[in-house]
Chain A
Amino acid sequence: MLAIDVISTIFLAAGSLIMITGTVGLLKFPDFYTRMHATGKCDTLGQILIILGCVIYEGFTFITIKLLLVSAFYLLAGPASTHALMKAAYVTGLPVWKKGDKRM
């Protein structure tokens, strides 16, 4: 039981750490487009690790399949929502930050 606790805690902590990295990037990056890189990518791996941590903690049951389906659905929905925001910004003509420009 202890080993399972430790392993699932490691997974949950790694997932949370990656989410925090994404948030730091969101605050630190210079413009909208690069900020979407930080959130769009870190969230995907972060949620996979957090769900895996939950799965390991609870043991393998039929609920596991539902959790893994949630994770798989995020792999479709995450990039789609990122793309929708990026396209909206691009179509309305939000300027793209180039190296050496001022922070937006």
Chain B
Amino acid sequence: MEMTEMKEDHRTFSIALTFCIMFIFWVLLSAWTVYLPEPYDLSKVSRGILAALIVTFLTYEIFVPGKGEKVLLKMRRFIPYVGWELWQIYLATVDVAKRVFGILEVDPQIIEFDTTLRSDFALVTFANSITLTPGTITIDVDPERGRYIVHAIAKGPADSLTVDQTMQKKVGYVFMEE
């Protein structure tokens, strides 16, 4: 009995959060149709609510899969991570440009390493982050062991993944899978 109630609670939270995000998304994408010719036209807003509801009931299980309160904490931790990632994209481009024009050497190698990440979203985020950060591209992921196969363009970028492990720690912190 208690179990089902807990589950019900999760579901309400999941549906509410998904609906809020979907409705905000609809307002951002088509707000001028709401307030432009006639302000606060109910029939237009209700169209948005209907669309958001349909999408919510189709996707809430995928969009917010359980673990209630933690979802909001993860979202809050994810935002500074995106900022750091944008800085890494800049560094990555400078790094590749230096190698293109022959300032740094090209000495490719393939490395493999294990991580503590297990959930789908954490694995995808880390794989994309590897590709966006300087000098490394994800080739393959084994989700069961959190094992990554990575192509590094030189020894320096490879060491930043296998020795320093800054990014593993950051992603682990964001998704609470340290």
Contacts and interface: CB of A to CB of B under 8 A. Distances in A.
Given A21-B100, A79-B132, A80-B128, A99 B106 contact: yes
Nearest to B92: A41
Contacts of B31: 62
A37 B97 CA distance: 10
Q: Is the interface of A mostly helix, strand, loop or mixed?
A: helix
Contacts, number: 107
Contact of B107 (A75, A76, A91, A99): A99
Interface in B75-129: 85-86, 89-90, 92-93, 95-97, 99-101, 105-110, 127-128
A87 B97 CA distance: 24
Given A21-B97, A41-B92, A90 B108 contact: no
Interface in A26-74: 28-31, 33-34, 36-38, 40-42, 44-46, 48, 62, 65-66
Contacts of B105: 99
A75 B96 contact: no
A18 B134 CA distance: 15
Contacts of A75: 85, 128, 132
A29 B109 CA distance: 14
Contacts of A38: 96, 100
B137 A25 contact: no
A25 B96 contact: yes
17 contacts: A18-B93, A18-B97, A21-B100, A31-B108, A33-B151, A37-B96, A41-B92, A41-B93, A41-B96, A42-B97, A44-B132, A48-B86, A65-B28, A80-B128, A83-B127, A87-B139, A96-B151
Interface of A: 18, 21-22, 24-25, 28-31, 33-34, 36-38, 40-42, 44-46, 48, 62, 65-66, 75-76, 78-80, 82-83, 86-87, 90-91, 96-99
